[in-house]
Structure 1
């Protein structure tokens, strides 16, 4: 399905962004009577207008082709003057924000099965991408790219770095730019080679292991590094340092989760589980959304 043109139908509620990232800002708006998120792409230095427009068009075409309960729906694009020069991408508003915010606010009251269910939702979204025709690799899985909707579901978002495989075994990409995923969640093979490596289904799975550690055990990988100051975080990853030691809060409820997380971090990408295998192994109920 081609992207829907919503130009002239989106009302900006507040000119102050709700979220600001390296490449975009997100605002709250209205489409008809529904609250929506308005993703406005920012100008990037040393990148031509033509290149940026191509990137934005690519993201909206990829996004428009997706349909799954754990994938953020794409309503369409808007090219009103207020959203110049690259226009805006419109999606439902997720009232509970991203996973980082949600766990900071409600993590202490979530049960273990609820935490595992949220992780499983993220895995389901990635599994859908990996089984899509053509196969899609997300390339930037992290808590801020996982939203929590009003039903307590984990919803995968941000498809700006998605890599498309046109056929099985193909390295055919739709972009020639270097991978710029978030350092903390990069698989070792993405940072150890002399030549720039690109994300794969296996590197997505590695990042899902990092998400599992945060969701289920409330710990970050490479927690001793707050930032990638002077490249220290990347050096840790490249050196083969384990992303985390065994958590002290493992219980009978979380033993399987820890084993899956460790499997996701296997140094050999070919030995990591597939996303659908992770999904099948985990079993927990859909979490109830905590009262605000």
Structure 2
């Protein structure tokens, strides 16, 4: 089959997806492989939605979204020509590989966050972020697919969508406000991001009951699950991020995808190979993005020493965490304190005093939320590390022990007397 005497379509479709069939094809004019999606019906509502999806996909100009090359019709049926992605959906990736390594989960999540941030800037809400709507190509780059349910806030051309016979989202990944038919915004997609990260880490959706009804009931009534309860090697800051992304109330989720990106990007280092999925050698995409991903130094710090630049970043992070606490955004503040601690540990070692200080601040941020047990657990871990490094009679150790005892409602236990060097047992 040939479309517009230009696109030579293969004999067999790749898949039935969304509103149409997806076919591999070749653009004979520009001599390149492409994907053609053809609407298989002339239903007026579906026709409008099909064209609307193509225009929305084209409007979101981002490397994490497939390029739209053409929009036309063949024998009365509309088609759209898209960039061909040489990759695998995240659903198939997890089915083949099982739960993914932490660095790959972080890398994929950071890239999705970048797409969502671009969408937020133009007021676009995808409304169907889930593993089957995200592809990982052989270079390791992520592509977010299927904008058939997307809306643009404040733009009536893109915000009207017929609901007849259509499920507006996917149970288990769809945000509670979407289930209830309430107003949506960029935080709706953050819920989908959280559910996707949970799936990549554990191999299952965060809410996945025997029936649709019980799954929805759990999404609306139960507290968000923690992936760390199913997998022990998940860093606390990643576990906290996912639980906050899955918050039932949008007000309890991060305020922006940028917050998720800031936490995920540092965890995406030292990614292991995924044989059969990723290219074995670093290709042109990695080479290009490796340079592009290096941030430009601010004019005021262009001549700073590396140590001075690090100090400036820490100072800015501290100010941000303090602002979040002052605004009552304690979970976000806790994540920022943990991010700072992780950054200092990478730069200066796990036993640097600032690592302890920032982890203590992160733990205490949970106290105004009434999460005393969680604060005690985290402070106790810091106390254990401080004892190892500083000894039992150090002022910070004694003060931390007093704080833990106060939170626990017990009297602090006096530290054991410190023996002089060489005194033996």
Partner of residue 252, structure 2: 271
Structure 1 counterpart SS, 2:61: coil
- C-alpha contact (below 8 Å) 1:216/1:254 kept by paired residues: no
Partner of residue 40, structure 1: 38
Partner of residue 214, structure 1: 199
Q: What is the CA deviation profile of residues 245-285 of structure 1, one whole-angstrom value per residue up to 9, with x for unaligned ones?
A: 6433232x532211110111222212211211111121214
Change (3 A) 1:101 1:141: same
- C-alpha contact (below 8 Å) 2:202/2:230 kept by paired residues: no
- Measure, in 1, the Cα distance between the counterparts of 2:111 and 2:67: 15
- Structure of greater Rg: 2
- C-alpha contact (below 8 Å) 1:191/1:237 kept by paired residues: no
Partner of residue 105, structure 1: 96
Partner of residue 121, structure 1: 111
Structure ranking higher in helix proportion: 2
Q: Is residue 19 of structure 2 the alignment partner of residue 20 of structure 1?
A: no
Equivalence map 1:75-154=2 (5 Å): 75-81=69-75, 84-85=76-77, 87-107=78-98, 111-132=101-122, 135-154=123-142
- C-alpha contact (below 8 Å) 1:213/1:221 kept by paired residues: yes
Q: Is residue 152 of structure 2 the alignment partner of residue 164 of structure 1?
A: yes
Partner of residue 3, structure 1: none
TM-aligned CA deviation for residue 209 of structure 1: 0.4
TM-aligned CA deviation for residue 206 of structure 1: 0.8
- C-alpha contact (below 8 Å) 1:190/1:199 kept by paired residues: yes
Equivalences, count? 266
- C-alpha contact (below 8 Å) 1:217/1:249 kept by paired residues: yes
- C-alpha contact (below 8 Å) 2:52/2:158 kept by paired residues: no
- C-alpha contact (below 8 Å) 2:36/2:82 kept by paired residues: yes
- Measure, in 2, the Cα distance between the counterparts of 1:25 and 1:39: 6
Tell which has more relative contact order, 1 or 2 (C-alpha 8 A, sep 6+). Answer: 1
Structure 1 counterpart SS, 2:192: helix
TM-score with structure 2 setting the length:
0.57
Tell me the C-alpha RMSD between the 2 structures: 2.6
Partner of residue 290, structure 1: 274
- Measure, in 2, the Cα distance between the counterparts of 1:164 and 1:28: 30
Structure 2: unaligned runs, 5 residues or longer? 277-425
Structure 1: unaligned runs, 5 residues or longer? 1-5
